[in-house]
């Protein structure tokens, strides 16, 4: 059994197993800390800085997602200094890229009074549509590294993408920036699954959004088991108008931890792509009998 | 194994083991999410040994790749066993307490010196020795395999040779040590569990046991034939003999998936009655007298499937089936009604609850519990049983519970389709990452990685034939010939060629394969065909 660590978060004392993070401590006392680059299935890289909190005695703010709790720490998650830092992070991110598909960002902008417009408007580069399975819209990329981690040792071990360039030029890229089909990519789509801003998106969803026909309010999801191979991956089928429009896997199921392969994530189209004549009566098939 | 038809371990154990042996498996392509767990094991420090004729995508992650000749698995396993014994590394305490037949086994592997094994398998003696010592000295070890072991005429013997190694070192029945056959289809485990085997009723209960039959007969109100039936290969033998005259094929495409598909098609065409129930008008369905269009049960119906870690999980209905397609359960019940037995239209849960009443290893798996736990692993005998993470811990009790595990001495027996001057190249078959079986489902989405049906050749063989990537060749076996474009691959060795079996419309590789089959399991020798390649 591991030992426990006791610390204080926003005035609440909390005891946690040794090795827990400040984010886990905050959640344990019911305090919400915003995160973008953090995901429980990935190694924290603490690059987005939206989760920073103040630790008494620490010169700088610390990222809650990766800072390990120590005995006696006094943590403040909502101090003026923390709020100012988060506002700045949101403004810089929001002036660099389009965040309208990141689910909670709009509410955080409001909460922290962020006005990204005062730093300029983000550019809108053409999305890269170089294959039939998924689209890369780097005008939405906040360089959070999640896709790189999912493609690397946290899940897939394919290493098809990495951060290329320095400073303003930094961007996620395949080797020599080749199109995905020419790259090492195996189209598992595990990068899409972890992308927090919609920069990576299944083509099926992207096409519907482009056509103005993506309607989350009419969708339902059903959890089932993949029909390819015998590993037993859980699939969440997103259904709109009687058609599967997207496939994901639950993060909290320990067979997949949210990951799938190309067949599981994209191989469902045979459900709808029916051959000619499939829906007509089949009496002619009985003729030999 | 040892009376239970399932892998012993859970996926999570491979993340916490010390040594992983992947034998006759290209899990990286065929079982990608299992391979994620395996790679976490490697990341946590486990060493990985891959035994495969091809330097496959999986082998590229290995600490050591043992590139054996196709069909020499027993020679290699026996040499590993001999070396472990010769070095005094066997687990004597475990062997004494929990096994039988060690003496006979030790004697049977005696001729398999490292040098002889090198000669027969093509694997350097030092590599065999390395694997033997690594496996025997690891604290925990997982031995995993797939169809590279089982698609041979001596499939069962291949498996026994691997089980012997686990018994030799005590690598079974402990957390992190186990024997792991990874299943190729989402419910091949569940199908067997549910009694879709010729000699078993649900829950691996023997159909020839009168007490077992009596319990089922009481529930079902009908007598059950007291003898084992035919497995697929024997069904085709029966068609050849004219004894089997009618076939009802549900979700199976034997006209292309059987070895020697030409023969399979001829036999299916000659039946008095062929009924096919499938999602699409498959090659087999085209031969049928009656076709029942079926729902895709994993998305258009309710039920359960069982994975390679014995985990029973629910599949759920997300969509209505298209057109006239019906759920399998509906079709079967309706067919029964028209044959004079009215079952009504039971729900999936009602069918499952009946099964739970008859199969003790599933008794504790109510739908409510399956939902709450994200699936449960059998055996799960009551509603307060959490299910088993790994099997055969009984072998480590003192004294052991139940019967000891037997060593089974088996000997090397090369592939039936011999290499000769006329047919000098060994053709083996397997899967591509983005495709599945005969391509009925996977052929319909637009994969950017699809390579299609190619004949993969070693650069040396390609050069001697004077062919390059994309050149068309004729591949000829003793049973048939097909044409295919060449793909030069650095994952092969001279004399070894590879084809995937996903593209029967372009390259029907089972026109070439041999129907030679294992009398114990009924599996055909898909993995070892002798061919020659002719430049076109």
Percent of residues, chain A, with pLDDT higher than 70: 94
B122 domain-assigned:
yes
Within this chain, do residues B284 and B368 fall inside the same structural domain, yes or no?
yes
Confidence tier at A210 by pLDDT (50, 70, 90): very high
Kindly state whether B15 is in contact with chain A, defined as any CB-CB distance less than 8 angstroms. Answer: no
pLDDT score of B308 more than 60: yes
Please name which of A105, A39, A65, A101 lies closest in space to residue A251, comparing C-alpha atoms: A39
- Integer Cα distance of B517 and B367 in angstroms: 39
Which residues 102-131 in chain B show a CB within 8 A of chain A?
none
- Is the Cβ pair A230, B313 closer than 8 Å? no
Kindly state whether B311 is in contact with chain A, defined as any CB-CB distance less than 8 angstroms. Answer: yes
pLDDT (0 to 100) of residue B358: 96
Q: Mean of the per-residue pLDDT values for chain B?
A: 94
- Integer Cα distance of A20 and A23 in angstroms: 8
| Range name among A49-53, A280-284, B295-299, B365-369 with the lowest pLDDT average | A280-284
Residue B244, class by beta-carbon neighbours within 10 Å (0-12 exposed, 13-18 middle, 19+ buried)?
middle
A240 domain-assigned:
yes
Within this chain, do residues B156 and B193 fall inside the same structural domain, yes or no?
no
pLDDT score of B149 more than 50: yes
Closest by Cβ to B448, choosing from A133, A256, A257: A133
pLDDT (0 to 100) of residue A46: 87
Report whether B201 contacts B193 (CB < 8 A).
no
A287 domain-assigned:
no
Within this chain, do residues B39 and B153 fall inside the same structural domain, yes or no?
yes
Within this chain, do residues A108 and A212 fall inside the same structural domain, yes or no?
no
- Is the Cβ pair B319, A244 closer than 8 Å? yes
Q: Which helix (H) or strand (E) holds B303?
A: strand B303-306
Within this chain, do residues A63 and A158 fall inside the same structural domain, yes or no?
no
Q: Pick from A88-97, A272-281, B183-192 the range whose average pLDDT is largest.
A: A88-97
Read off the pLDDT of residues B227-265 as tens digits, 9 standing for 90 and up. Answer: 999 988 899 999 999 999 999 999 988 998 888 888 999
Within this chain, do residues B229 and B328 fall inside the same structural domain, yes or no?
yes
- Is the Cβ pair B32, A237 closer than 8 Å? no
Confidence tier at A286 by pLDDT (50, 70, 90): very low
Read off the pLDDT of residues B421-452 as tens digits, 9 standing for 90 and up. Answer: 999 999 999 999 999 988 888 888 899 999 89
Within this chain, do residues A249 and A143 fall inside the same structural domain, yes or no?
yes
**Which CATH number characterizes residue A33's domain?**
3.10.20.740
pLDDT score of B185 more than 60: yes
CA distances from B226 to A46, B214, B234, B239 (A): 66, 10, 18, 22
State the angle between helix axes of B114-121 and B125-137 in degrees (0 to 180), rounded to the nearest 10: 120
Within this chain, do residues A85 and A3 fall inside the same structural domain, yes or no?
yes
Within this chain, do residues A108 and A165 fall inside the same structural domain, yes or no?
no
Within this chain, do residues B55 and B173 fall inside the same structural domain, yes or no?
yes
B384 domain-assigned:
no
Contacting residues for A179 by C-beta, under 8 A, at least 6 apart = A128, A130, A131
**Which CATH number characterizes residue A214's domain?**
2.20.25.90
Domain boundary among A69, A88, A122: A122
pLDDT (0 to 100) of residue B259: 81
What b/e string do you get for B377-387 counting C-beta neighbours within 10 Å, with b at 16 or more?
Answer: bbbbbeeebeb
Q: Which of B30, B246, B318 to mutate to test the interface with A (most CBs of A within 10 A)?
A: B318
pLDDT (0 to 100) of residue B523: 84
A282 domain-assigned:
no
Percent of residues, chain B, with pLDDT higher than 90: 86
Within this chain, do residues A46 and A155 fall inside the same structural domain, yes or no?
no
Kindly state whether B348 is in contact with chain A, defined as any CB-CB distance less than 8 angstroms. Answer: no
pTM above 0.90, yes or no: yes
Question: What is the pairing mode between strands B311-315 and B376-377?
Answer: antiparallel
Domain boundary among B147, B165, B181: B181
Phi, psi dihedrals of residue A173, rounded to the nearest 5°: -150, 150
**Which CATH number characterizes residue B252's domain?**
3.40.50.740
Q: How many domains does chain B have?
A: 3
Within this chain, do residues B108 and B150 fall inside the same structural domain, yes or no?
yes
Within this chain, do residues B304 and B359 fall inside the same structural domain, yes or no?
yes
Kindly state whether B445 is in contact with chain A, defined as any CB-CB distance less than 8 angstroms. Answer: yes
Q: How many domains does chain A have?
A: 2
* Mean pLDDT (whole number) for A214-231: 96
Report whether B484 contacts B454 (CB < 8 A).
yes
Read off the pLDDT of residues B92-139 as tens digits, 9 standing for 90 and up. Answer: 999 999 999 999 999 999 999 999 999 999 999 999 999 999 999 999
* Mean pLDDT (whole number) for A220-231: 96
Confidence tier at A287 by pLDDT (50, 70, 90): very low
Confidence tier at B1 by pLDDT (50, 70, 90): low
pLDDT score of A288 more than 50: no
pLDDT score of B517 more than 90: no
Q: What is the ipTM of this complex?
A: 0.94
Closest by Cβ to B323, choosing from A268, A279, A288: A279
Within this chain, do residues B94 and B209 fall inside the same structural domain, yes or no?
no
Beta bridge partners of A240: A243
Identify all chain B residues contacting A237, using CB atoms and an 8 Å cutoff: 299, 318-319
Q: Structural domain of residue A190, as residue ranges?
A: 134-271
pLDDT score of A283 more than 50: no
* Mean pLDDT (whole number) for B359-363: 96
**Which CATH number characterizes residue B433's domain?**
2.40.40.20
Where does residue A263 fall: left (phi above 0), alpha (psi -120 to 50 degrees), or beta otherwise? alpha
pLDDT score of B335 more than 90: yes
pLDDT (0 to 100) of residue A1: 56
CA distances from A71 to A16, A28, B168 (A): 10, 16, 48
**What's the distance, CA A176 to chain centroid?**
25
Confidence tier at A111 by pLDDT (50, 70, 90): very high
pLDDT score of B181 more than 80: yes
- Chains A, B: CB contacts within 8 A come to 188
CA distances from B267 to A171, B235, B261, B482 (A): 59, 10, 10, 20
Q: Structural domain of residue B286, as residue ranges?
A: 188-377
């Amino acid at each position: 059994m591991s030992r426990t660590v006791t610390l204080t978060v926003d005035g609440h004392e909390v005891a946690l197993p040794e090795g827990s993070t400040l984010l886990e401590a905050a959640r344990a006392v019911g305090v919400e800390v915003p995160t973008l680059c953090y995901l429980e299935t990935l190694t924290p890289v603490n690059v987005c800085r939206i989760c920073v909190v103040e630790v008494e005695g620490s010169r700088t703010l610390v990222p809650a997602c990766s800072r390990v709790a120590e005995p006696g720490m006094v943590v403040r998650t909502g101090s003026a200094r923390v709020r100012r830092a988060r506002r700045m992070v949101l403004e810089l991110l929001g002036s660099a890229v389009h965040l309208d598909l990141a689910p909670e960002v709009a509410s955080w902008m409001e909460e922290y009074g962020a006005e990204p417009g005062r730093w300029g408007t983000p550019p809108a580069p053409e999305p890269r549509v170089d294959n039939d399975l998924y689209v890369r819209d780097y005008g939405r990329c906040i360089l959070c590294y999640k896709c790189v981690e999912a493609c690397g040792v946290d899940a897939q071990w394919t290493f098809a993408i990495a951060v290329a360039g320095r400073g303003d030029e930094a961007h996620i890229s395949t080797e020599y920036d080749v199109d995905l089909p020419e790259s090492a990519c195996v189209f598992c789509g595990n990068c899409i699954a972890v992308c927090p801003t919609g920069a990576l998106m299944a083509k099926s969803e992207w096409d519907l959004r482009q056509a103005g026909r993506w309607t989350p309010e009419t969708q339902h999801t059903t959890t089932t088991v993949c029909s390819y191979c015998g590993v037993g991956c859980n699939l969440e089928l997103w259904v709109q108008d009687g058609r599967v429009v997207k496939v994901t896997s639950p993060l909290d199921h320990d067979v997949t931890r949210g990951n799938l392969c190309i067949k599981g994530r994209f191989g469902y189209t045979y459900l709808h792509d029916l051959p000619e004549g499939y829906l007509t009566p089949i009496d002619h098939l009985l003729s030999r009998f | 194994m040892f009376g239970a038809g399932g892998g012993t371990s859970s996926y999570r154990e491979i993340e916490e083991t010390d040594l992983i042996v992947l034998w006759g498996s290209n899990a990286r392509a065929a079982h990608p999410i299992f391979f994620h767990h395996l790679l976490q094991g490697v990341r946590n420090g486990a060493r990985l040994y891959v035994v495969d004729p091809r330097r496959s995508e999986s082998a590229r992650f290995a600490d050591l790749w043992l590139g054996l000749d196709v069909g020499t698995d027993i020679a290699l396993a026996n040499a590993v066993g001999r070396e472990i014994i010769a070095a005094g590394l066997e687990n004597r305490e475990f062997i004494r307490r929990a096994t039988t037949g060690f003496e006979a086994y030790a004697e049977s592997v005696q001729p398999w010196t490292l040098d002889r094994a090198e000669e027969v398998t093509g694997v350097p003696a030092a590599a065999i020795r390395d694997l033997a010592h690594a496996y025997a000295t690891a604290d925990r070890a997982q031995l995993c395999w797939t169809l590279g072991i089982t698609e041979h005429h001596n499939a069962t013997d291949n498996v026994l040779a691997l089980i012997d190694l686990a018994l030799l070192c005590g690598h079974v029945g402990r957390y992190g040590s186990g024997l792991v056959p990874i299943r190729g289809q989402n419910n091949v485990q569940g199908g067997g569990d549910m009694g879709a085997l010729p000699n078993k009723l649900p829950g691996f209960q023997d159909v020839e046991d009168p007490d077992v039959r009596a319990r089922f007969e009481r529930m079902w109100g009908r007598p059950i034939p007291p003898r084992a039936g035919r497995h697929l290969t024997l069904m085709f033998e029966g068609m050849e003999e004219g004894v089997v005259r009618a076939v009802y094929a549900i979700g199976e495409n034997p006209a292309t998936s059987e070895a020697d598909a030409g023969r399979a098609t001829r036999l299916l065409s000659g039946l008095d009655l062929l009924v096919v129930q499938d999602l699409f008008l498959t090659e087999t369905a085209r031969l049928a007298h009656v076709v029942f269009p079926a729902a895709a049960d994993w998305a258009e119906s309710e039920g359960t499937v069982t994975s390679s870690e014995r985990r029973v999980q629910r599949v759920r209905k997300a969509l209505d089936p298209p057109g006239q397609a019906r759920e399998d359960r509906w079709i079967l019940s309706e067919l029964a009604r028209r044959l004079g037995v009215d079952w009504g239209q039971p729900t999936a849960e009602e069918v499952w609850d009946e099964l739970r009443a008859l199969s003790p290893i599933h008794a504790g798996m109510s739908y409510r519990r399956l939902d709450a736990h994200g699936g449960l692993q059998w055996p799960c005998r009551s509603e307060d049983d959490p299910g088993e993470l790994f099997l055969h811990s009984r072998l480590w009790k003192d004294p052991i519970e139940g019967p000891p595990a037997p060593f089974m001495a088996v000997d090397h027996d090369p592939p039936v389709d011999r290499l000769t001057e006329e047919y000098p190249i060994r053709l083996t078959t397997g899967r591509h990452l983005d495709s599945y079986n005969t391509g009925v489902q996977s052929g319909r989405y637009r994969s950017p990685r699809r390579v299609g049906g190619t004949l993969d050749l070693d650069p040396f063989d390609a050069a001697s034939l004077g062919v390059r990537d994309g050149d068309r060749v004729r591949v000829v076996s003793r049973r048939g010939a097909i044409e295919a474009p060449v793909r030069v691959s650095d994952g092969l060795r001279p004399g070894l060629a590879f084809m995937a079996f996903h593209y029967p419309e372009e390259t029907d590789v089972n026109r070439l394969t041999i129907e030679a089959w294992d009398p114990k399991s009924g599996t055909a020798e898909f993995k070892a065909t002798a061919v020659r390649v002719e430049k076109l």
